[in-house]
Amino acid sequence: MAVVDLNRTSCFALLGLTMHGPFFYYGYRWLIDTFTTITGPPSLKGCINGTLITGGNGSSEAVAKVQNTFLRTFCAGFFFWPVANVLNVMFVPATKRVLFVNGSSLVWNAYLRLVNSKPLSETAEGTAYSSFL
pTM for this one?
0.55
> Which of the four pLDDT bands, split at 50, 70 and 90, describes residue 110?
confident
* 48 compared with 128, residue with greater pLDDT: 48
Cα 50 to Cα 59: distance, rounded to the nearest angstrom: 10
Interior angle at CA 89, CA 28 and CA 21, nearest 5: 30
For all residues of the chain together, what is the average pLDDT?
74
Q: What is the pLDDT of residue 72?
A: 85
At residue 124, the pLDDT reads 56
Domain positions in the chain are 6-120
* pLDDT at res. 14: 80
**Distance from C-alpha of 104 to C-alpha of 98, rounded to nearest angstrom:** 10
